[in-house]
Structure 1
Amino acid sequence: MPEIKLKCSCGKVKGKTKNVNESSGTRIMCCCDDCQSFAQYLNQESSVLDQYGGTDIFQMPISNIKITEGIEQISSVRLSAKGMYRRYTICCNTPIGNTMGPGVPFIGVIHNFMDNASTRDEELGKNRGHIQTKFARQEVPTELKGSSLKIILRSLSKLIVWKIKGLNKPSVFFDDNGKPIAKPNILN
């Protein structure tokens, strides 16, 4: 399975994935208001969001991410006290991805952190469609919408398999005690 290079826009944070291909994860375009708020928080709306307000995300096991340079440049924000950890670089505000708690083997890697723009469709497959379209900035054409039920079932089944396989560890975003490597800023 291909290894995908990871890199922030200024190059201070670098990493790679392992065991990634179209069947190993789920690629979606998320139009939810939280993803849009995260892009806005980073002042990266024009580079993160598409015309509908969707973020290109590849959901994969968190243990398949390795940061090789610049770990000290990683920070996080939560949009509420119990919200997802939204990881980004402090050097250039590049969004990295969204994670849940330390026991959950999941990260939704945001396209801006993947250094594979020219080969993304080949390596990760085409996205399965726009979801959470009720938050879209404009009407998403029917042919671009994903089946929310199919995507949810696929994501849940992958999460269960990843959990059974113990793919929540190792995690570059949580220490061995389950504490985040960077204390998140919690927004109200």
Structure 2
Amino acid sequence: MTDVPFSCPCGEVKGTLYGAAPTSGNHVRCCCSACRAAVLYTTGVDLEDHGVELYQTTPDKISFQHGQDKLAVFFSPKKLLRFRVSCCGAPLFTMLPTPKFALTGVMTNLLADKTAIGPVAMEAFIPQPDGSSKHSSVMRLYGGTMWRALVARVTGRWKQTPFFDVDTGRPVAEVYIPTAEERARLPL
């Protein structure tokens, strides 16, 4: 397992992903419309069917060395919190709107070295020619996620999060809900 630095593109926000390894998280490529829309909303770049790469782990594996006060968060249509930075707008993390289910998806393009997390091991919402979607390695994806969240819950590690005030259950930044007009401008 390796500790991997991460930063936003402008360098105002810097931190560390601790204990990164293919066995301690899920390296996922997600092609769902919500992940694509979140990247398009924050960066203006449409990833089309290429998907968004995330490393799913628990929040206690993340710390900030600089710029945590620059975190901003918005609520996506799939009921996920999407953390980005206010300095350059880059998306950083995805998670459920409660700290009690310890799951954090780290945008892998911000990691200083992606080799520690291994290659993409599973894919979600892969577009099919008939318009449907499918997943690969579903048992590993959901099993690993559920197991890590359960262990974090039982051990109390879920409380070690830089993203929530665990006493109130609220995110550390005010949650913004994109307007209907903003959502309508996204071609997804």
Fold equivalence (TM over 0.5):
yes
The whole-number CA distance in structure 2 between the counterparts of 1:108 and 1:95 is 11
Cα separation, 2, equivalents of 1:158 and 1:135: 30
Distance in 1 of aligned mates of 2:43 and 2:132: 23
Residue 19 of structure 2: aligned partner: 19
Matched, 1:112 2:109: yes
Q: Partners in 2 of 1:131 and 1:16 — Cα distance?
A: 26
Gaps of 5+ in 2: 181-188
Counterpart contact for 1:7–1:15, Cα < 8 Å: yes
Q: Relative to structure 2, which stretch is displaced further, 106-115 or 23-32?
A: 106-115
Question: Match for 1:157: what amino acid?
Answer: W
> Hey, what does 1:162 align to over in structure 2?
152
Note the alpha carbon deviations across 1:109-139, whole angstroms, 9 max, x for none: 01132222xxx1x311111132111489x99
In 1, the alpha carbon distance for the partners of 2:65 and 2:20 equals 17
TM-score (normalised: structure 1): 0.83
- Correspondence 1:35-74 to 2 at 5 A: 35-45=35-45, 49=47, 52-74=49-71
Partner of 2:88: 92
Q: TM-score, normalised by structure 2?
A: 0.83
Percent identity over the alignment is 23
The amino acid of 2:79's aligned partner reads G
1:36 & 1:182 partners in 2: Cα distance? 22
Instruction: Provide structure 1 residue ranges, at least 5 long, that are not aligned to the other structure.
Output: none
Separation (CA, whole Å) in 2 of partners of 1:171 and 1:155:
17
Matched, 1:127 2:120: yes
Matched pairs, number: 176
Match of 2:7 in 1: 7
Contact kept, 8 Å, 2:103 with 2:145, in 1: the verdict is no
Cα distance in 1 between the residues matched to 2:44 and 2:23: 29
Q: What do the CA deviations read for 1:81-118 (whole angstroms, capped 9, x no partner)? A: x71110001111111110111212110001132222xx
Structure 1 residues 44-77: Cα deviation after superposition (integer angstroms, max 9, x where no partner):
425xx3x623111000110110011111111011
- State the one-letter code of the partner of 1:67: F
After the TM superposition, list the runs of 4 or more consecutive aligned residues in structure 1 that deviate by more than 3 angstroms.
Answer: none
- Between stretches 152-161 and 61-70, larger displacement belongs to 152-161
Counterpart contact for 2:6–2:16, Cα < 8 Å: yes
Per-residue deviation at 1:167?
2.3
